[in-house]
Structure 1
Amino acid sequence: MTAASLVLSDIYIYPVKSLGGIRVTEATVEPRGLRHDRRWLIVDERNQFMTQRQTSEMALLKVLPAYNGFLITHSARPEMLPLYVPFEATPERTLFVTIWDDMVFAWRGTPEADAWVSEALGRSCKLVYMSDMVMRPTDDGEVPGNVSFADAYPFLLVGQASLDELNSRLPEALPMNRFRPNLVFGGGQPYEEESWRNFRIGELLFEGIRPCGRCAVTTIDQQTAQKSAEPLRTMAPYRTQGGKVMFGQNVTGPGSGTLRLGDTLVVQSTLA
């Protein structure tokens, strides 16, 4: 399989951490990742970040593109009118929020947005935004740069061949949305992306940092919010490293540029 056979086949942004994604045909690369990716976050009454790990009903909140922003809908409650959210908030109301071990400064959304997500999730919630002024380092202290409200790194890369190989082992095939990648490529061998160090997509240079350890979110059906044992049960015997089940590659990027569907991937070096 030649390098020329590797092609960027899907690009996804997730405007709100742990809600549904939007497939786009091109995306602007910024220092924190793709523009508009995970810049919004839902926090609870203690200003702690919320994800599907603890609140699986968040899978029912879908995100649709809209002019200069996006719509959030509730797939199980059609009586709730869609919530419009701009891509960027204003600094009129601020607070500190906690995500993993980080406490960061955030801008509040509107009171109407807070009320909508609170009603949708059945508890007191707030919708908050990360401005460009916030400094949140990547998960690895040796990797320079900042990250949005993503877990650890600016990008997650997954090969379609990796999902195809996994699905060949599962009793029922799963869609790619279980794994929430930003970048999906076609061609190549299953799991080969986890060995990549330096690679190019189009004209932009990227660096693979380490394989991504997967959590319980992969076991949540993104249409129904129901949990199961798969795919972690099937993956554990052959995809476990260091006590974590691996799928996909954490990646840092060039800081600026544009990605487009159909861009060619060229691997320049691999991890030792």
Structure 2
Amino acid sequence: LVGGMEKIKQHTFALAHYTYTVLSTLKYASGAPVVRIYSDTDFSSPDIQGPIINFNILDENGEVIGFSQVDKMASLYNIHVRTGCFCNTGACQMHLGISNEDIQRNLQAGHVCGDDMDLVDGRPTGSVRISFGYMSSFEDAQTFLKFIIATRLSELDTEIPFQSSLTKLTRESVPDDHPSCNNADKLSPVPYLLDRELRNSSSVTKMTVNWQPPEAGAESIRAAVSETAVPTCRRGGKPITVTNIYLYPIKSCSAFEVTEWPVGNQGLLYDRNWMVVNQNGVCMTQKQEPRLCLVNPSIDLKKRVMVIQAQGMDPISVSLEENTGKEAVISESKVCSHRVKAYDCGERIAGWFSLFLGRPCRLIRQSSDVKNRLHQKNAKGLGSATNISLSFVNEAQYLLINIASILQLKEHISARLEEPLETVELIRRFRANIVISAPESFEEEEWAEISIGALRFQVVGPCSRCQVICIDQQSGERNKEFLQSLSAARGRKTNLGIYLMNQPLHSSFPDILSVGSQVLPVLKDNTEIQPPTSSEE
């Protein structure tokens, strides 16, 4: 059918040789290479070189861009790459110059096989690999090369606010007589296209819960809060405060905004307690089904129901009471490789979601009767980490973002899109639980812990963003410019926001998180953020 294995070998090698040659010629204006290729051959013969290219992408200063970052960006172009050490530690050590002592240091830093820790002290722990097969085409090779050009070599017409200067980038063209070109069109940079005009309308449900503990009890809780946290007052003495609170009752569905909300032992009460799964029981997220963001759940604590709405669908309600009877159907799924157990919410709600999404799916809920996922990292000041349970969240109980950080990113993205961008729309893309107003952008990344009202939180680490931020939470449409802009703005990182963990204080009344509450941070180096001097008001 295809002329035998020899024909396949020649076909795949031609694609690899062409891609290898173009990658080798891509350079910045300074002459620095865009990629570093790891190979024992010069790709001169298919008899000694397979159709595989192993490499790392470099920035204009010659520093390696982590493979996890490359993987996230490639996914925006529907390109699947393999990353890491590919079960070949010896080759990884040889080509990356990793010594046995380096491996021990990487392990001590928390790096294990298969994780996303792509850089330790600025040095790579692995690389990126692409391969070609029988079904691969010349267009596939061009798509990959255009991805590299679009993300590393496209010239920007506007100044980037986050960088002191712009580096003009260029590339060397592929020779016309290259044996692998076959008179195909030469590569050209992919223009940035805006998918649609960003909307200003809001569909986020907002609710106020008038649920406050007695003042006497509140004082007893405040007395238990760590005294090491002191308020920070800058810019005219204004404190850091909570501006917005969001919970996401159904994982990957729309936000439910509140002004105050009770805190449970897994985070905000009912946050990500439900999850949509496909017919095989696999978790569905906006990465696979962007229209999940159009599903709007809201919770009525008095009526003890969750109401689910979507355009063109009749509202449907789900009881907040757990179905713990014998008829409950226990199912198993996965959240970020962690196995979770839950019970099925029944045929009625399954039919509603299947009709709206146009595919068979079901709604499941985490049950308090089954063992919950436990956080594995130690959290200073919160006791044993094994006592902190998680709902259907990916990493931690809470995600916090800072409006100052959002505003700085907004300037960067607006310049690249060449049109205005609404702050509230950008906030929704980052799907945080807690939004705060701190004076300085990204200062939250320097915090070790914070107190909000009577609640104390441990900072677990930064949130490394994925392609979900490219999805407009009002329409479900994608625009890959958002992740690309974040990466460019943050200097090869896609971090925005911090993860928090909390152990609620045991008391006879619930802890409450409220908009307007003051945020009291403590820095990582254990030095307190200083209060204002007497000259400040």
Q: TM-score, normalised by structure 2?
A: 0.48
Alignment of 1:87-102 (within 5 A): 87-91=320-324, 92-102=328-338
Relative to its length, the structure with more strand (as a share) is 1
Question: Which residue of structure 1 lines up, in the alignment, with residue 406 of structure 2?
Answer: 163
Instruction: State the match for 1:261 in structure 2.
Output: 515
Does residue 444 of structure 2 align to residue 193 of structure 1?
Answer: yes
Q: Is the 8 A contact 1:240 1:246 kept in 2?
A: no
- Residue 354 of structure 2 corresponds to 118
Deviations 1:94-115 (A, max 9, x none): 1112222111210110210011
Cα distance, 1:38 vs. partner? 0.2
Distance between the aligned counterparts of 1:230 and 1:217, measured in 2? Answer: 12
User: 5 Å matches for 1:178-217?
Assistant: 178-217=429-468
Structure 2, unaligned runs of 5 or more: 1-231, 380-384, 415-419, 506-510, 527-537
Q: Which one of the candidate residues 272, 278, 285 is aligned to 1:38?
A: 272
Select which of 475, 483, 496 maps to 1:247: 496
Normalised TM-score (structure 1):
0.91
Distance 1:197 1:13 in 2: 23
Larger-Rg structure: 2
Q: What amino acid is the match of 1:132?
A: S
Alpha-carbon distance in 2 for matches of 1:65, 1:148: 17
Question: Does the 8 A contact of 1:89 with 1:108 survive in 2?
Answer: no
Distance 1:137 1:240 in 2: 33
Q: What's the offset of the Cα at 1:21?
A: 1.1
Q: Distance in 1 between matches of 2:525 and 2:365?
A: 35
Q: 1:16 pairs with 250, 253, 270, which one?
A: 250
Question: Per-residue deviation at 1:269?
Answer: 2.8
Which residue matches 2:318? Answer: 85
Aligned counterpart, 1:136: 373
Report percent identity of matched pairs.
27
2: CA distance between counterparts of 1:95 and 1:104?
A: 9
* Amino acid in the other structure paired with 1:124: P
Query: 1:8: Cα distance to partner?
Result: 0.8
Partner of 1:108: 344
| 1:270 corresponds to | 524
The answer for the alignment partner of 2:286 in structure 1 is: 52
SS of match in other structure, 2:405: helix
Report the alpha carbon displacement of residue 234 of structure 1 after superposing the two structures with TM. Answer: 1.0
Q: Distance in 2 between matches of 1:19 and 1:213?
A: 20
- Residues 88 and 129 in structure 1, CA contact (< 8 A), matched pair in contact too: no
> Residue 463 of structure 2: SS of its match in structure 1?
strand
Shift in Å, 1:208: 0.7
Higher relative CO (Cα under 8 Å, sequence separation at least 6) belongs to: 1
Q: Secondary structure in 2 aligned to 1:168?
A: helix
Gap change, CA 1:167 and 1:105, over 3 Å in 2: same
Deviation at 1:212, TM superposition (A): 0.1
C-alpha separation in 2, matches of 1:56 and 1:225: 5
Return the offset for 1:64. Answer: 3.0
State the 1:70 CA deviation: 2.1
Distance in 2, Cα, partners of 1:197 & 1:173 = 32
User: More helix by proportion, 1 or 2?
Assistant: 2
Distance 1:258 1:97, change over 3 A: same
User: 1:271 Cα shift?
Assistant: 5.9
